[in-house]
Structure 1
């Protein structure tokens, strides 16, 4: 595929677990081996891009019988390619560890080296965010991997503010970047009961002037709706300078459909 192409091509491959570790009490990083064929497939897949995890349903029946039917072959979940490291031949995927009440969390908690997991993704040269002078990133725990991946790639001449909500102080991480980045952490031990991200975003000081500004927000459905309404309706924000994505909806699984 030509490097300048924005055409996307879907790929799907079975990856072998190389190792895993707890980054914090609520984040597990699983490292997958990249073989020769996968190395070629991943050449035009970006760190921070979405993937699809195909989790074997039969391995999860006992822990989640109410939500998983025995005749399903796979439970599909959307995650982030936290890092594609072709030099060290590793695909890193970070999981929010919230017990066995979710298929991906349950799988990550019990995953061992040598185990395999099928992963689907897209080849693309499309940038994750457009060029800007200032970025505002807003996200809950589910958005931490993608926001970390994007911030790592920002150039030194831009400024960014990051607003992140995690379970507690012990889940805070260091965000590495060449850019001028300031991070504000919020703590929420029960995210399924609501978030203060939207209210906090209202009090973020945004730069004025003619700077090109871009806002990237990803979190629970109702939180994203409130953020989107605020910037689009109240601030009349340029729609081309705003990206919002609801990664989950409280009380609803991915099988029940996205809002």
Structure 2
């Protein structure tokens, strides 16, 4: 049990500031206490976390487990997000949210968040790199994947080549990423991602990294796009399973809890 506690941390964080870094992209910066600094010591930016949103009008987070006896109406809503960055000097933790109105509890929370508000966050310790070593990378993602894409680009060394194809709402939602790597980004615009995406079709017109290089593709997007691209790399192009990873971050028309089984099964195919 002691070993498990060292690998997982759960804590309540307080909002320090919030900003719209693009018209459809919100960055929420949380204060980090000295105690939380110790908990975050081995958390990798870009790794997944679980956020806990308290019921409306309640300023308390109940972290649940199998033994919980909390009334259902007091339980928080839980969603999976990405730890965008951790600044140990400034004592800040940042999480980015796609802003799409009240269509989803996390988006609704982020758009209304103010300094002093709280959010429960659970993270696993991880020192593993987000992607394996390679000479050429192909990064493919929709708006929900921008935080992890940003973290990957920041962590890649110089002398590697990166082709990124990223889907956002429009031109004003393009983000300037920082990277030592040689990066080229193609932006795909989609005002209604819940109605379908052209991302997979776009990728099929892209010149893929040559087999002579050590290559790796990282795919993170909506379920249908990920399923299509997984088949494309595996079946049509014959890529080895060690040369790519594909994760469905969401499924159109379904909440995270409703689609979790389907998304997990698709990844195991």
Structure 2 length as normaliser, TM-score? Answer: 0.88
Deviation at 1:207, TM superposition (A): 3.0
| Pairing 1:12–2:14 present | no
Q: Are 2:36 and 1:38 aligned? A: yes
Identify the residue that residue 229 of structure 1 maps to in structure 2.
231
Indicate the residue corresponding to 1:160 in structure 2. Answer: 162
Equivalent in 172, 177, 180 of residue 175 of structure 1:
177
1:51 positional shift: 0.4
- The correspondence of residues 84-99 of structure 1 with structure 2, limited to 5 A, is 84-99=86-101
**Alignment check: 8 A CA contact 2:49 2:82 kept:** yes
Distance (whole Å) between structure 2 residues aligned to residue 209 and residue 104 of structure 1: 41
Q: Is the 8 A contact 1:57 1:70 kept in 2?
A: no
The answer for unaligned runs of 5 or more in structure 1 is: 1-6, 61-68
Matched positions, count? 245
> Any conservation in 1 of the 2:251–2:259 contact (CA below 8 Å)?
no
Deviations, residues 90-149 of structure 1 (Å, cap 9, x unaligned):
100000000011100000011111111110010111111110001000000000111011
- The answer as to whether partners of 1:8 and 1:124 remain within 8 angstroms in 2 is no
Matches within 5 A, 1:42-191: 42-59=40-57, 71=73, 73-191=75-193
What is aligned with 1:24?
22
**How far has the Cα of 1:56 moved from its partner?**
0.9
State the 1:87 CA deviation.
Answer: 1.4
1:152–1:176 contact (8 Å) kept in structure 2: yes
Higher helix content, 1 or 2: 2
RMSD: 1.6
**1:208-234 superposed Cα distances (whole Å, 9 cap, x missing partner):** 252110000000000100000101000
Counterparts in 2 of 1:256 and 1:15: CA distance versus 1, 3 Å:
same
Q: TM-score, normalising length from structure 1? A: 0.91
User: Which runs of 5 or more structure 2 residues have no equivalent in the other structure?
Assistant: 59-70, 263-269
Partner of 1:144: helix, strand, or coil? helix
C-alpha separation in 1, matches of 2:211 and 2:144: 32
